[in-house]
Amino acid sequence: MAEEVKKRVFSGVQPTGKVTLGNYLGAIRNWTPLQEQYDCLFCVVDLHSLTVTQVPAELRKNTLDLVALYIACGLDPDKSALFIQSHVHEHAELAWILDTIAYVGELNRMTQFKDKSRKHADNINMGLMNYPVLMASDILLYQTEYVPVGKDQVQHVELTRNIAERFNARYSDTFAVPQCLLSKSGNSIKSLLEPTAKMSKSDPNDNAIITLTDSADTVRRKLRRAVTDSDTDVRCVHSSPSKPGVSNLLNIYSLCADVTVEEAEKQFEGKGYGVFKDAVADAVIAVLEPIQAEQKRLLSDKAYLENVLGQGAEKASRIAQKTLAKVYRKVGLIPRVR
């Protein structure tokens, strides 16, 4: 029987700081089960992170930390290609071609661009605007069918689809047109202090986020201080617009303790916020501790990580070269004769 060709999955996270519980619950954790069914590539998108100012030494550290974290979270280098974006030069090269396909108007409308322009008003660089085109390049290089991301990235994947369809219409069928894979838990995890905004690793207030490297004490302290509600009704109700803080904590609890939100609501009925917050902390700590231990172990074995990255980049390069050669040919560039 002919071997079944597995559909391809691609995703990535920027090495822009400490990975948050939001990144984990909204993205990385949902990648692990995909490895059984799909041909997966998971990337640390270091080129993307340059769109906001980085300290070079920190960027290097964050990049390796993130690779170790991927593995500690259950991504298996024997099943998936794990690699660093800048190790495969085709990403930047395809982005240039796609720049000639994407319109300034559509990039200008991207929510993330508008948000980041506000946050980094002193550094609205071309890369920031171009960010979604590089992301489209990441995805399209691998003929990706599914892109598992959090809700905040849906707009970028939509743009990627538009770019792929426009290119295919102009130059004939070249790219697979990818789809988002939003898991059930793809709902956004919110800031602990401002529960209508998403928990984001670049949040300047460390108390607003739980990072995957936070100690048990830190997790407990941050959760005790998390905003709940101004009213005196200590019921834990989910999805009440007047209780975004409680909703967020219930959501975190349900994802970490692996129970439904309804079950969690029942469990904490009449218990009050103190007991509730401590239980959320226990559930989060139980998720984080084994990941932290494994990440630490991996980071002490640099040779192993380098080997994983070498193999990942090799596999990624093989696919990327093929797509880029096809694209260059289709748009009319002459191949170099060797």
Exposed, middle or buried by CB within 10 Å (0-12, 13-18, 19+), for 260?
exposed
Residue 198 designated active-site: yes
47 close to 133: Cβ distance less than 8 angstroms:
no
CA distance 14 to 17: 8
Cβ neighbours of residue 259 closer than 8 Å, sequence gap 6 or more: 253, 267
CA distance 109 to 94: 22
- Considering only 21, 45, 182, 255, the residue that binds ligand LTN (CB under 6 A) is 45
**Nearest CA-CA partner of 292 in 74, 72, 67, 77:** 72
Q: Note whether 12 binds ligand LTN by CB under 6 A.
A: yes
Q: Note whether 30 binds ligand ATP by CB under 6 A.
A: no
Q: Select from ligand ATP, ligand LTN, none the partner in contact with residue 135, using the beta carbon and a kind-dependent cut-off of 5 to 8 Å.
A: ligand LTN
- Considering only 16, 144, 211, 228, the residue that binds ligand ATP (CB under 6 A) is 16
**Among residues 109 and 225, whose Cβ is nearest to ligand LTN?**
109
- Considering only 9, 13, 84, 252, the residue that binds ligand ATP (CB under 6 A) is 13
Q: Note whether 115 binds ligand ATP by CB under 6 A.
A: no
Q: Which of 7, 61, 119, 198 is catalytic?
A: 198
Count of residues for the chain?
338
- Give the dihedral sign, CA 156/160/161/162: positive
For residues 53-63, b (16+ Cβ closer than 10 Å) or e, as one string?
Answer: ebeeeebeebb
Residue 277 designated active-site: no
| Contact mark string toward ligand LTN, 138..177, x via CB under 6 A | xx-------x-x---x--x---------------------
Q: Note whether 152 binds ligand ATP by CB under 6 A.
A: yes
Beta strand 81-84 with 39-44 is: parallel
Residue 315 designated active-site: no
**So which residues are the catalytic ones?**
116, 198, 201
Residues of this chain that interact with ligand ATP (CB under 6 A) are 13-14, 16, 20, 22-23, 26-27, 149-150, 152-153, 188-189, 198-202
Which residues contribute to the site for ligand LTN (CB under 6 A)? 10-14, 45, 48, 135, 138-139, 147, 149, 153, 156
